[in-house]
Structure 1
Amino acid sequence: MADTLNLSKPELVSIAQQRLAQEVGDSGWSARQKLALTCRVLFDAGHDSGLAGQITCRAEGGDSFYTQQLGLGFDEITMSNLIHVDQDLKVLAGRGIPNPANRFHTWIYRQRPDVNCIIHTHPTHAAALSMLEEPLAVSHMDTCPLYDDCAFLPAWPGVPVGNEEGEIIARALGDKRAILLAHHGQLVVGKTIEEACMLAILIERAARLQLLAMSAGAIKPLPEALAREAHDWISTPKRDSVTFAYYARRALRRHADCLA
Structure 2
Amino acid sequence: MTTTLRETKDALVRRAQRQMRDHFGDSQLTTRQKLALTCRVLFDGGHDAGLAGQITGRGEEPGTYWTQRLGLGFDEITEDNLLLVNEDLEVLEGEGMPNPANRFHSWIYREREDVNCIVHTHSLHTAALSMLEIPLVVSQMDTTPLYEDCAFLKDWPGIPVGNEEGEIIASALGDKRAVLLAHHGQLVAGGTVEEACHLALLIERAAKLQLLAMAAGTLQPLPPEQAREAHDWTSTDRRHQANFAYYARRALRNHPDCLTEGTTVR
Q: Same fold (TM over 0.5)?
A: yes
Q: Give the C-alpha shift of residue 234 in structure 1.
A: 1.2
Counting aligned pairs with the same residue, the percent is 69
1:22 is the counterpart of 2:39: no
Q: Give the C-alpha shift of residue 25 in structure 1.
A: 2.1
Q: Give the C-alpha shift of residue 235 in structure 1.
A: 1.6
1:77 is the counterpart of 2:77: yes
Aligned to 1:193: 193
1:239 is paired with a residue whose SS is: helix
Aligned to 1:237: 237
1:238 is paired with a residue whose SS is: helix
Aligned to 1:133: 133
Aligned to 1:116: 116
1:38 is the counterpart of 2:38: yes
Aligned to 2:61: 61
CA–CA distance in 2 between the matches of 1:143 and 1:211?
Answer: 14
**Equivalent residue letter for 1:131:** M
Aligned to 2:210: 210
CA–CA distance in 2 between the matches of 1:31 and 1:2?
Answer: 43
1:125 is paired with a residue whose SS is: helix
**Equivalent residue letter for 1:69:** R
Count of residue pairs the alignment pairs up: 260
Q: Give the C-alpha shift of residue 26 in structure 1.
A: 1.7
Deviations 1:88-140 (A, max 9, x none): 00000100000000000000000000000000000000000000001000000
CA–CA distance in 2 between the matches of 1:53 and 1:175?
Answer: 22
**Equivalent residue letter for 2:77:** I
Structure 1: which 4+ aligned runs deviate by more than 2 Å? none
CA–CA distance in 2 between the matches of 1:61 and 1:69?
Answer: 20
Aligned to 2:264: none
Correspondences of 1:156-195 after superposition (within 5 Å): 156-195=156-195
**Equivalent residue letter for 2:58:** R
Aligned to 2:253: 253
CA–CA distance in 2 between the matches of 1:117 and 1:165?
Answer: 19
Q: Give the C-alpha shift of residue 35 in structure 1.
A: 0.3
CA–CA distance in 2 between the matches of 1:117 and 1:255?
Answer: 22
Unaligned runs of 5+ in 2: 261-266
Could you state the TM-score of these two structures normalised by the residue count of structure 2?
A: 0.97
Aligned to 1:225: 225
Could you state the TM-score of these two structures normalised by the residue count of structure 1?
A: 0.99
- The alignment yields a C-alpha RMSD, in angstroms, of 0.5
Aligned to 1:12: 12
Unaligned runs of 5+ in 1: none
**Equivalent residue letter for 2:43:** F
CA–CA distance in 2 between the matches of 1:25 and 1:202?
Answer: 21
